[in-house]
Protein backbone atom coordinates (compact mmCIF):
# COMPACT_ATOMS: atom_id res chain seq x y z
CA UNK A 1 0.00 0.00 0.00
CA UNK A 2 1.42 3.37 -1.06
CA UNK A 3 0.19 5.52 1.82
CA UNK A 4 1.99 8.65 0.65
CA UNK A 5 0.02 8.57 -2.61
CA UNK A 6 -3.13 9.32 -0.59
CA UNK A 7 -1.83 12.74 0.43
CA UNK A 8 -3.08 15.73 -1.55
CA UNK A 9 -1.58 18.74 0.19
CA UNK A 10 -3.49 19.23 3.43
CA UNK A 11 -6.12 16.59 2.54
CA UNK A 12 -6.31 12.87 1.98
CA UNK A 13 -7.74 12.01 -1.44
CA UNK A 14 -8.25 8.78 -3.32
CA UNK A 15 -10.49 6.56 -5.42
CA UNK A 16 -13.45 5.21 -3.48
CA UNK A 17 -15.56 3.66 -6.25
CA UNK A 18 -14.96 1.73 -9.45
CA UNK A 19 -16.40 3.23 -12.60
CA UNK A 20 -13.59 5.07 -14.37
CA UNK A 21 -11.18 3.01 -16.44
CA UNK A 22 -7.67 2.90 -15.04
CA UNK A 23 -8.67 4.24 -11.61
CA UNK A 24 -8.56 1.52 -8.99
CA UNK A 25 -10.06 1.83 -5.51
CA UNK A 26 -7.49 2.68 -2.85
CA UNK A 27 -9.81 4.13 -0.20
CA UNK A 28 -11.07 0.76 1.01
CA UNK A 29 -12.87 0.34 4.38
CA UNK A 30 -9.69 -1.23 5.79
CA UNK A 31 -7.58 1.74 4.67
CA UNK A 32 -10.06 4.22 6.16
CA UNK A 33 -10.17 2.32 9.48
CA UNK A 34 -6.37 2.43 9.63
CA UNK A 35 -6.34 6.17 8.88
CA UNK A 36 -8.93 6.72 11.64
CA UNK A 37 -6.81 4.82 14.17
CA UNK A 38 -3.73 6.72 13.02
CA UNK A 39 -5.53 10.05 13.45
CA UNK A 40 -6.47 9.12 17.02
CA UNK A 41 -2.81 8.23 17.66
CA UNK A 42 -1.75 11.54 16.09
CA UNK A 43 -4.09 13.40 18.46
CA UNK A 44 -2.58 11.60 21.45
CA UNK A 45 0.94 12.32 20.21
CA UNK A 46 0.18 16.03 19.85
CA UNK A 47 -1.92 16.68 22.96
CA UNK A 48 -2.53 15.44 26.48
CA UNK A 49 -5.94 14.08 25.46
CA UNK A 50 -6.14 10.29 25.86
CA UNK A 51 -9.87 9.96 25.06
CA UNK A 52 -10.57 12.40 22.23
CA UNK A 53 -14.01 13.35 20.99
CA UNK A 54 -14.06 13.38 17.18
CA UNK A 55 -16.94 14.82 15.14
CA UNK A 56 -17.39 13.24 11.70
CA UNK A 57 -19.45 14.55 8.79
CA UNK A 58 -19.72 13.85 5.08
CA UNK A 59 -20.81 15.33 1.80
CA UNK A 60 -23.31 13.60 -0.48
CA UNK A 61 -20.87 11.48 -2.48
CA UNK A 62 -22.05 7.97 -3.23
CA UNK A 63 -19.21 6.48 -1.19
CA UNK A 64 -19.68 8.87 1.74
CA UNK A 65 -21.71 6.62 4.03
CA UNK A 66 -19.38 3.63 3.74
CA UNK A 67 -16.27 5.75 4.30
CA UNK A 68 -17.84 7.53 7.25
CA UNK A 69 -18.89 4.22 8.79
CA UNK A 70 -15.38 2.81 8.38
CA UNK A 71 -13.86 5.91 9.95
CA UNK A 72 -16.25 5.79 12.91
CA UNK A 73 -15.47 2.09 13.41
CA UNK A 74 -11.71 2.65 13.37
CA UNK A 75 -11.83 5.68 15.67
CA UNK A 76 -14.08 3.92 18.22
CA UNK A 77 -11.80 0.87 18.23
CA UNK A 78 -8.89 3.24 18.94
CA UNK A 79 -10.67 4.59 22.02
CA UNK A 80 -12.20 7.80 20.66
CA UNK A 81 -15.74 8.99 21.30
CA UNK A 82 -17.26 9.82 17.91
CA UNK A 83 -20.08 12.27 17.18
CA UNK A 84 -21.62 11.34 13.81
CA UNK A 85 -22.99 14.53 12.23
CA UNK A 86 -24.22 12.89 9.01
CA UNK A 87 -24.54 15.18 5.98
CA UNK A 88 -22.68 18.38 6.78
CA UNK A 89 -20.53 21.14 5.32
CA UNK A 90 -16.78 21.24 5.78
CA UNK A 91 -16.85 24.59 7.65
CA UNK A 92 -19.54 23.26 9.99
CA UNK A 93 -17.27 20.37 10.88
CA UNK A 94 -14.57 22.80 11.96
CA UNK A 95 -17.16 24.65 14.04
CA UNK A 96 -17.82 21.47 16.04
CA UNK A 97 -14.36 21.93 17.57
CA UNK A 98 -15.21 25.36 19.01
CA UNK A 99 -18.97 25.02 19.53
CA UNK A 100 -20.29 24.79 23.07
CA UNK A 101 -22.72 22.16 21.77
CA UNK A 102 -19.97 19.67 20.88
CA UNK A 103 -16.51 20.78 22.07
CA UNK A 104 -14.90 18.17 19.84
CA UNK A 105 -11.20 17.55 20.28
CA UNK A 106 -10.97 17.26 16.50
CA UNK A 107 -13.22 16.75 13.50
CA UNK A 108 -13.16 15.03 10.12
CA UNK A 109 -15.05 15.76 6.92
CA UNK A 110 -15.50 13.04 4.31
CA UNK A 111 -15.33 14.94 1.01
CA UNK A 112 -13.44 15.35 -2.25
CA UNK A 113 -14.84 18.80 -3.04
CA UNK A 114 -15.73 19.03 -6.76
CA UNK A 115 -13.78 15.98 -7.96
CA UNK A 116 -15.53 13.23 -10.00
CA UNK A 117 -18.11 10.92 -8.41
CA UNK A 118 -15.67 8.03 -7.87
CA UNK A 119 -13.29 10.07 -5.69
CA UNK A 120 -13.48 10.82 -2.00
CA UNK A 121 -11.24 12.00 0.78
CA UNK A 122 -10.80 13.33 4.29
CA UNK A 123 -10.23 16.79 5.74
CA UNK A 124 -9.09 17.11 9.36
CA UNK A 125 -9.56 19.89 11.90
CA UNK A 126 -8.61 20.83 15.46
CA UNK A 127 -9.69 24.02 17.28
CA UNK A 128 -6.60 25.66 15.74
CA UNK A 129 -7.95 25.10 12.21
CA UNK A 130 -7.34 22.68 9.37
CA UNK A 131 -4.37 20.36 9.55
CA UNK A 132 -1.37 21.27 7.39
CA UNK A 133 0.39 19.03 4.88
CA UNK A 134 3.06 18.06 7.43
CA UNK A 135 0.31 16.84 9.78
CA UNK A 136 -1.26 14.71 7.02
CA UNK A 137 2.17 13.27 6.25
CA UNK A 138 2.58 12.40 9.94
CA UNK A 139 -0.80 10.62 10.08
CA UNK A 140 0.02 8.58 6.98
CA UNK A 141 3.46 7.70 8.38
CA UNK A 142 1.77 6.35 11.52
CA UNK A 143 -0.51 4.28 9.26
CA UNK A 144 2.37 3.02 7.13
CA UNK A 145 4.44 2.00 10.17
CA UNK A 146 1.50 0.45 12.03
CA UNK A 147 2.09 2.70 15.04
CA UNK A 148 -1.58 3.04 15.96
CA UNK A 149 -2.02 0.07 18.31
CA UNK A 150 -4.35 0.73 21.27
CA UNK A 151 -5.06 -1.69 24.10
CA UNK A 152 -7.50 0.40 26.14
CA UNK A 153 -11.29 0.37 26.16
CA UNK A 154 -13.25 1.13 23.02
CA UNK A 155 -14.83 4.54 22.65
CA UNK A 156 -18.46 5.32 21.88
CA UNK A 157 -20.49 6.74 19.01
CA UNK A 158 -23.49 9.07 19.01
CA UNK A 159 -25.35 11.16 16.42
CA UNK A 160 -26.03 14.90 16.23
CA UNK A 161 -27.73 17.14 13.64
CA UNK A 162 -25.07 19.83 13.85
CA UNK A 163 -26.18 21.48 10.60
CA UNK A 164 -29.28 22.73 12.43
CA UNK A 165 -27.04 24.40 15.02
CA UNK A 166 -24.74 25.78 12.32
CA UNK A 167 -27.68 27.10 10.25
CA UNK A 168 -29.00 29.02 13.25
CA UNK A 169 -25.53 30.52 13.71
CA UNK A 170 -25.50 31.78 10.09
CA UNK A 171 -29.09 33.08 10.35
CA UNK A 172 -28.28 35.00 13.54
CA UNK A 173 -25.22 36.51 11.85
CA UNK A 174 -27.38 37.84 8.99
CA UNK A 175 -30.02 39.18 11.39
CA UNK A 176 -27.42 41.03 13.44
CA UNK A 177 -25.63 42.31 10.35
CA UNK A 178 -28.68 43.75 8.58
CA UNK A 179 -30.38 44.85 11.83
CA UNK A 180 -33.67 45.47 10.02
CA UNK A 181 -36.83 46.86 11.62
CA UNK A 182 -38.34 43.43 11.04
CA UNK A 183 -35.43 41.80 12.86
CA UNK A 184 -36.57 38.21 12.31
CA UNK A 185 -37.00 38.73 8.55
CA UNK A 186 -34.14 41.02 7.45
CA UNK A 187 -34.23 39.81 3.84
CA UNK A 188 -37.93 40.47 3.27
CA UNK A 189 -38.44 42.01 -0.17
CA UNK A 190 -35.24 40.54 -1.60
CA UNK A 191 -35.19 37.78 -4.20
CA UNK A 192 -32.14 35.53 -3.78
CA UNK A 193 -31.66 32.17 -5.45
CA UNK A 194 -29.31 29.37 -4.43
CA UNK A 195 -27.58 26.82 -6.67
CA UNK A 196 -26.19 23.96 -4.57
CA UNK A 197 -25.18 21.88 -7.59
CA UNK A 198 -26.70 18.82 -5.83
CA UNK A 199 -23.98 19.15 -3.20
CA UNK A 200 -24.45 19.91 0.49
CA UNK A 201 -25.33 23.61 0.18
CA UNK A 202 -29.12 23.27 -0.06
CA UNK A 203 -29.48 24.18 3.63
CA UNK A 204 -28.59 27.78 2.74
CA UNK A 205 -31.82 28.22 0.77
CA UNK A 206 -33.76 27.26 3.91
CA UNK A 207 -31.88 29.91 5.89
CA UNK A 208 -32.69 32.62 3.34
CA UNK A 209 -36.33 31.58 3.18
CA UNK A 210 -36.58 31.66 6.98
CA UNK A 211 -35.13 35.19 6.93
CA UNK A 212 -37.87 36.39 4.58
CA UNK A 213 -36.17 36.19 1.19
CA UNK A 214 -38.01 35.03 -1.92
CA UNK A 215 -35.97 32.03 -3.07
CA UNK A 216 -38.06 30.99 -6.09
CA UNK A 217 -35.82 29.86 -8.92
CA UNK A 218 -33.29 28.15 -6.65
CA UNK A 219 -31.98 24.99 -8.23
CA UNK A 220 -30.26 21.66 -7.59
CA UNK A 221 -30.79 21.83 -3.82
CA UNK A 222 -31.19 18.11 -3.18
CA UNK A 223 -27.95 16.24 -2.41
CA UNK A 224 -27.09 13.78 -5.18
CA UNK A 225 -23.60 12.32 -5.32
CA UNK A 226 -23.91 11.69 -9.07
CA UNK A 227 -24.00 15.50 -9.62
CA UNK A 228 -26.44 15.09 -12.53
CA UNK A 229 -26.88 18.76 -13.47
CA UNK A 230 -23.46 20.37 -13.29
CA UNK A 231 -20.27 20.10 -11.26
CA UNK A 232 -20.72 21.96 -7.95
CA UNK A 233 -17.81 24.31 -8.50
CA UNK A 234 -17.90 28.15 -8.51
CA UNK A 235 -14.95 28.15 -10.94
CA UNK A 236 -16.61 25.87 -13.50
CA UNK A 237 -17.90 27.71 -16.59
CA UNK A 238 -20.89 25.43 -17.09
CA UNK A 239 -21.92 25.75 -13.44
CA UNK A 240 -21.60 29.54 -13.50
CA UNK A 241 -23.49 29.79 -16.80
CA UNK A 242 -26.32 27.72 -15.30
CA UNK A 243 -26.76 29.82 -12.16
CA UNK A 244 -26.33 33.11 -14.06
CA UNK A 245 -29.14 32.05 -16.40
CA UNK A 246 -31.32 31.11 -13.42
CA UNK A 247 -30.81 34.52 -11.80
CA UNK A 248 -31.62 36.32 -15.02
CA UNK A 249 -34.71 34.23 -15.79
CA UNK A 250 -35.99 34.54 -12.22
CA UNK A 251 -35.36 38.30 -12.22
CA UNK A 252 -33.65 37.79 -8.85
CA UNK A 253 -31.65 40.41 -6.97
CA UNK A 254 -28.81 38.04 -6.24
CA UNK A 255 -27.63 34.47 -6.72
CA UNK A 256 -25.33 32.24 -4.67
CA UNK A 257 -23.51 29.11 -5.82
CA UNK A 258 -21.55 26.66 -3.65
CA UNK A 259 -19.12 23.84 -4.19
CA UNK A 260 -19.92 20.34 -2.91
CA UNK A 261 -18.85 20.76 0.71
CA UNK A 262 -19.63 24.50 0.97
CA UNK A 263 -16.16 25.80 1.76
CA UNK A 264 -16.29 27.85 -1.47
CA UNK A 265 -18.91 30.11 -2.99
CA UNK A 266 -19.51 32.79 -5.60
CA UNK A 267 -22.14 35.48 -6.16
CA UNK A 268 -24.26 36.38 -9.18
CA UNK A 269 -25.43 39.96 -9.67
CA UNK A 270 -28.84 41.38 -10.53
CA UNK A 271 -28.43 41.06 -14.28
CA UNK A 272 -26.97 37.56 -14.16
CA UNK A 273 -23.37 38.73 -14.17
CA UNK A 274 -20.92 36.29 -12.54
CA UNK A 275 -19.04 37.56 -9.50
CA UNK A 276 -16.35 34.95 -8.98
CA UNK A 277 -12.54 34.80 -9.15
CA UNK A 278 -11.10 38.36 -9.39
CA UNK A 279 -14.55 39.96 -9.18
CA UNK A 280 -15.41 38.07 -5.99
CA UNK A 281 -12.09 39.03 -4.40
CA UNK A 282 -12.70 42.67 -5.34
CA UNK A 283 -16.22 42.65 -3.86
CA UNK A 284 -15.34 41.09 -0.51
CA UNK A 285 -12.16 43.23 -0.37
CA UNK A 286 -14.31 46.34 -0.72
CA UNK A 287 -16.50 45.20 2.19
CA UNK A 288 -13.48 44.34 4.35
CA UNK A 289 -11.67 47.60 3.59
CA UNK A 290 -14.76 49.60 4.56
CA UNK A 291 -14.68 47.84 7.93
CA UNK A 292 -10.90 47.70 8.33
CA UNK A 293 -9.23 50.51 6.35
CA UNK A 294 -5.69 49.77 5.27
CA UNK A 295 -5.96 46.01 5.75
CA UNK A 296 -3.70 43.72 3.78
CA UNK A 297 -5.57 41.38 1.42
CA UNK A 298 -3.76 38.08 0.77
CA UNK A 299 -4.54 36.27 -2.49
CA UNK A 300 -3.05 33.48 -4.56
CA UNK A 301 -0.61 34.11 -7.39
CA UNK A 302 -2.88 34.15 -10.46
CA UNK A 303 -4.85 37.31 -9.68
CA UNK A 304 -4.97 40.08 -12.27
CA UNK A 305 -3.16 43.41 -12.27
CA UNK A 306 -6.57 45.10 -12.29
CA UNK A 307 -7.41 43.53 -8.93
CA UNK A 308 -4.19 44.83 -7.35
CA UNK A 309 -5.04 48.30 -8.66
CA UNK A 310 -8.61 48.05 -7.32
CA UNK A 311 -7.47 47.03 -3.83
CA UNK A 312 -4.93 49.86 -3.80
CA UNK A 313 -7.58 52.40 -4.84
CA UNK A 314 -9.74 51.18 -1.94
CA UNK A 315 -6.88 51.89 0.46
CA UNK A 316 -5.76 48.30 0.95
CA UNK A 317 -2.48 46.49 0.39
CA UNK A 318 -2.54 43.54 -2.00
CA UNK A 319 -0.21 40.72 -0.95
CA UNK A 320 -0.11 38.33 -3.91
CA UNK A 321 1.14 34.99 -2.54
CA UNK A 322 1.07 31.38 -3.74
CA UNK A 323 -1.56 28.94 -5.05
CA UNK A 324 -3.12 26.56 -2.56
CA UNK A 325 -5.83 27.77 -0.20
CA UNK A 326 -3.92 26.59 2.89
CA UNK A 327 -0.87 28.56 1.72
CA UNK A 328 -3.01 31.68 1.34
CA UNK A 329 -4.74 31.25 4.71
CA UNK A 330 -1.51 30.48 6.57
CA UNK A 331 0.12 33.57 5.06
CA UNK A 332 -2.75 35.73 6.34
CA UNK A 333 -2.31 34.26 9.82
CA UNK A 334 1.48 34.75 9.63
CA UNK A 335 1.14 38.41 8.65
CA UNK A 336 -1.12 39.09 11.63
CA UNK A 337 1.31 37.37 13.96
CA UNK A 338 4.08 39.53 12.49
CA UNK A 339 2.08 42.68 13.26
CA UNK A 340 0.65 43.35 9.79
CA UNK A 341 -3.13 43.65 9.90
CA UNK A 342 -4.79 41.19 7.52
CA UNK A 343 -8.55 40.60 7.65
CA UNK A 344 -8.97 38.57 4.45
CA UNK A 345 -7.08 35.70 2.82
CA UNK A 346 -8.75 34.49 -0.37
CA UNK A 347 -7.93 32.28 -3.34
CA UNK A 348 -9.42 32.81 -6.81
CA UNK A 349 -11.06 29.38 -6.44
CA UNK A 350 -13.48 30.90 -3.90
CA UNK A 351 -11.77 29.76 -0.69
CA UNK A 352 -12.18 32.90 1.45
CA UNK A 353 -10.97 33.03 5.05
CA UNK A 354 -11.87 35.99 7.24
CA UNK A 355 -10.04 36.90 10.43
CA UNK A 356 -13.38 37.61 12.11
CA UNK A 357 -14.39 33.98 11.44
CA UNK A 358 -11.34 32.10 12.76
CA UNK A 359 -9.61 32.32 9.35
CA UNK A 360 -11.94 29.52 8.28
CA UNK A 361 -12.65 29.19 4.56
CA UNK A 362 -16.44 29.05 4.81
CA UNK A 363 -18.49 29.53 1.65
CA UNK A 364 -21.73 30.00 3.58
CA UNK A 365 -20.21 32.64 5.87
CA UNK A 366 -18.76 34.48 2.87
CA UNK A 367 -22.15 34.40 1.14
CA UNK A 368 -23.86 35.56 4.35
CA UNK A 369 -21.48 38.51 4.71
CA UNK A 370 -22.05 39.56 1.12
CA UNK A 371 -25.82 39.16 1.50
CA UNK A 372 -25.72 41.46 4.55
CA UNK A 373 -23.84 43.97 2.39
CA UNK A 374 -26.30 43.50 -0.49
CA UNK A 375 -29.30 43.96 1.84
CA UNK A 376 -27.95 47.33 2.98
CA UNK A 377 -27.37 48.37 -0.63
CA UNK A 378 -30.87 47.17 -1.52
CA UNK A 379 -32.36 49.67 0.94
CA UNK A 380 -30.48 52.41 -0.92
CA UNK A 381 -31.65 51.17 -4.31
CA UNK A 382 -28.17 49.96 -5.25
CA UNK A 383 -26.79 46.62 -6.49
CA UNK A 384 -23.56 44.79 -5.64
CA UNK A 385 -22.17 44.89 -9.18
CA UNK A 386 -22.01 48.68 -8.94
CA UNK A 387 -19.41 48.38 -6.17
CA UNK A 388 -16.91 46.67 -8.48
CA UNK A 389 -17.74 48.66 -11.62
CA UNK A 390 -14.24 50.21 -11.55
CA UNK A 391 -12.48 46.82 -11.48
CA UNK A 392 -10.46 46.51 -14.67
CA UNK A 393 -11.02 43.09 -16.20
CA UNK A 394 -8.50 41.60 -18.64
CA UNK A 395 -9.65 41.53 -22.24
CA UNK A 396 -8.09 38.11 -22.78
CA UNK A 397 -6.76 35.30 -20.62
CA UNK A 398 -5.44 31.81 -21.18
CA UNK A 399 -3.94 28.93 -19.20
CA UNK A 400 -1.55 26.42 -20.79
CA UNK A 401 -0.41 23.35 -18.86
CA UNK A 402 3.12 22.32 -19.79
CA UNK A 403 3.89 18.68 -19.02
CA UNK A 404 7.18 17.72 -17.37
CA UNK A 405 8.62 14.37 -18.46
CA UNK A 406 11.66 13.92 -16.21
CA UNK A 407 11.16 11.45 -13.30
CA UNK A 408 12.57 14.20 -11.06
CA UNK A 409 10.02 16.69 -12.39
CA UNK A 410 10.57 19.18 -9.56
CA UNK A 411 14.23 19.58 -10.51
CA UNK A 412 13.24 19.85 -14.17
CA UNK A 413 10.68 22.54 -13.34
CA UNK A 414 13.19 24.51 -11.27
CA UNK A 415 15.61 24.48 -14.21
CA UNK A 416 12.89 25.68 -16.61
CA UNK A 417 12.09 28.58 -14.26
CA UNK A 418 15.77 29.49 -13.94
CA UNK A 419 16.28 29.46 -17.72
CA UNK A 420 13.10 31.43 -18.44
CA UNK A 421 14.01 34.09 -15.88
CA UNK A 422 17.31 34.67 -17.66
CA UNK A 423 15.62 34.78 -21.08
CA UNK A 424 12.74 37.04 -19.99
CA UNK A 425 15.18 39.55 -18.50
CA UNK A 426 16.56 40.14 -21.99
CA UNK A 427 13.22 40.79 -23.72
CA UNK A 428 12.51 44.44 -24.47
CA UNK A 429 9.40 45.70 -22.69
CA UNK A 430 9.29 42.81 -20.23
CA UNK A 431 9.89 43.27 -16.51
CA UNK A 432 10.32 40.52 -13.94
CA UNK A 433 7.83 41.22 -11.15
CA UNK A 434 9.20 41.46 -7.61
CA UNK A 435 8.36 40.59 -4.93
CA UNK A 436 6.95 37.33 -6.21
CA UNK A 437 6.37 34.25 -4.08
CA UNK A 438 5.67 31.57 -6.67
CA UNK A 439 7.31 30.73 -9.95
CA UNK A 440 8.11 33.54 -12.37
CA UNK A 441 5.78 36.49 -13.07
CA UNK A 442 6.62 38.86 -15.90
CA UNK A 443 4.92 42.14 -16.79
CA UNK A 444 4.64 42.72 -20.55
CA UNK A 445 4.63 46.44 -21.25
CA UNK A 446 4.73 46.43 -25.05
CA UNK A 447 1.68 48.07 -26.65
CA UNK A 448 0.62 44.92 -28.48
CA UNK A 449 0.89 42.83 -25.28
CA UNK A 450 -0.20 45.01 -22.33
CA UNK A 451 -0.40 42.17 -19.84
CA UNK A 452 1.54 39.59 -17.87
CA UNK A 453 2.39 35.92 -17.64
CA UNK A 454 3.04 33.61 -14.73
CA UNK A 455 4.87 30.29 -14.93
CA UNK A 456 4.85 28.09 -11.85
CA UNK A 457 5.03 24.51 -10.67
CA UNK A 458 1.79 22.64 -10.03
CA UNK A 459 1.24 21.98 -6.34
CA UNK A 460 1.21 18.20 -6.79
CA UNK A 461 1.54 17.14 -10.45
CA UNK A 462 4.34 16.99 -13.07
CA UNK A 463 2.91 20.04 -14.78
CA UNK A 464 3.81 23.72 -15.09
CA UNK A 465 0.73 25.95 -15.47
CA UNK A 466 1.34 29.03 -17.60
CA UNK A 467 -1.19 31.84 -17.10
CA UNK A 468 -1.31 34.69 -19.61
CA UNK A 469 -3.50 37.82 -19.42
CA UNK A 470 -3.74 40.87 -21.63
CA UNK A 471 -5.70 44.11 -21.64
CA UNK A 472 -5.70 44.38 -25.45
CA UNK A 473 -7.15 42.25 -28.22
CA UNK A 474 -4.55 39.85 -29.58
CA UNK A 475 -2.30 40.45 -26.59
CA UNK A 476 -2.35 36.88 -25.35
CA UNK A 477 -1.39 35.62 -28.81
CA UNK A 478 1.48 38.13 -28.96
CA UNK A 479 2.82 37.07 -25.55
CA UNK A 480 2.35 33.39 -26.36
CA UNK A 481 4.21 33.81 -29.65
CA UNK A 482 7.16 35.40 -27.90
CA UNK A 483 7.24 32.61 -25.32
CA UNK A 484 7.28 30.06 -28.16
CA UNK A 485 10.26 31.83 -29.69
CA UNK A 486 12.03 31.53 -26.33
CA UNK A 487 11.45 27.77 -26.38
CA UNK A 488 8.97 27.52 -23.50
CA UNK A 489 5.98 26.17 -25.45
Catalytic residues: 113
Could you tell me how far CA 290 lies from the centroid of its own chain?
24
What DSSP string describes 136-188? HHHHHHHHHHT-----S----EEE--HHHHHHHHHHHHHHHHH--SSTT-TTT
Closest to 200 (Cα-Cα) out of 105, 93, 96, 272: 93
Distance (Å, rounded) from C-alpha 447 to C-alpha 53? 61
> How many CB atoms lie under 10 A from the CB of residue 107?
29
**Which helix (H) or strand (E) segment is 352 a member of?**
strand 352-354
Please give the full DSSP string across 380-432, using - where no structure is assigned: TT--HHHHTTTPPPPSEEEEEEEE--SSSHHHHHHHHHHHHHHHHHTSTTEEE
What is the H or E stretch that residue 209 is in?
helix 203-210
Cα dihedral: 471, 476, 482, 484 (round 10): 160
Secondary structure of residue 57 in the 3-state scheme: strand
Strands 119-126 vs 106-110: parallel, antiparallel or unpaired: antiparallel
270 C-beta neighbours (distance < 10 Å), count? 20
- Name beta bridge partners: 235: none
205 three-state secondary structure: helix
Write out the DSSP string of 73-138: HHHHHTT-EEEEEEE--HHHHHHTTT-TTT--SEEEEE--TTS-TTEEEEEEEETTEEPPHHHHHH
> What single-letter DSSP state applies at residue 219?
B
What is the rounded distance in angstroms from the CA atom of residue 277 to the CA atom of residue 255? 15
Paired sense of beta strands 7-8 and 11-15, if any: antiparallel
25 burial class (0-12, 13-18, 19+ CB within 10 angstroms)? middle
- Residues pairing with 185 in the sheet: none
Helices 363-379/277-291 angle, 10° precision: 70
| Angstrom distance (rounded) from CA 296 to CA 314 | 11
For residue 332, what is the enclosing H or E element?
helix 325-337
Amino acid sequence: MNWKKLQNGSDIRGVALEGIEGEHVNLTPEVIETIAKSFVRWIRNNSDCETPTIAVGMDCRLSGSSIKSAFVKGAVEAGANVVDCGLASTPAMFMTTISEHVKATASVMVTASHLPFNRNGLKFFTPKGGLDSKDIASILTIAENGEFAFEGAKGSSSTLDFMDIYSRHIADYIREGVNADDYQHPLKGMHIIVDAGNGNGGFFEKILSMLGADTKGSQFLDPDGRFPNHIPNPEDREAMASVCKAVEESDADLGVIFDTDVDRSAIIGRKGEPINRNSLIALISSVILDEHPGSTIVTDSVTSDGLAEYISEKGGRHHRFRRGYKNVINEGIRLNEAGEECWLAIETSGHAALRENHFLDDGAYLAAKLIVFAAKLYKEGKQVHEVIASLKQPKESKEIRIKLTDPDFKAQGAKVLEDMKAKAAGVEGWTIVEPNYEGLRVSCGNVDEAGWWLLRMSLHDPVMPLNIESNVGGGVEAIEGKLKSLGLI
